[in-house]
Amino acid sequence: MNSVMLVGRLAHDIDVKTLESGKEVTRLALAVNRSFKNADGTYDVDYFDCILWDGLAVNTGLFCKKGDTVGIKGRLQTSLYEKDEQIHKAVEVIVEKVTFLSSKREEQKEEEA
């Protein structure tokens, strides 16, 4: 079974692109804190490359912004590409579902109050 569930913050605003085929796609980086502290006493962060298609891409782009916390469910996909005459492997999350959990802007408003 190939299934991934992650909860993290959007590392940048979402830019939805329309391909020549008419399909819509976006790529996003999801910043996920590790559940333990490092030797410096802080939490390390892992960044996961995620791909969203069609309506999921459009709706996420409309309602989610950089810093928002989301949960995603999807599957891992690997691909090979060549750069500088070397073969590299990329592992990406193909997102099937996005759950909006909290807004960075709303959290900041609550802290100011």
Distance (Å, whole) CA 68 – CA 65:
6
What residues does 51 pair with on adjacent strands? 27, 94
Global confidence as pTM: 0.82
**Among 79, 100, 105, 98, which Cα is nearest to 90's?**
79
32-60 pLDDT per residue, tens: 999 999 999 999 999 999 999 999 999 99
Taking only the tens place, the pLDDT of each residue in 6-18 is 999 999 999 999 9
**pLDDT one-digit tens code per residue, 63-80:** 999 999 999 999 999 999
Decide if pLDDT at 106 tops 70.
no
**Would you tell me how many other CB atoms lie within 10 Å of the CB of residue 25?**
16
- Where do the structural domains in the chain lie, given as residue ranges? 4-112
CATH 2.40.50.140 fits 4-112, yes or no: yes
The residue type found at 38 is N
Checking if the pLDDT of 113 tops 60, the result is: no
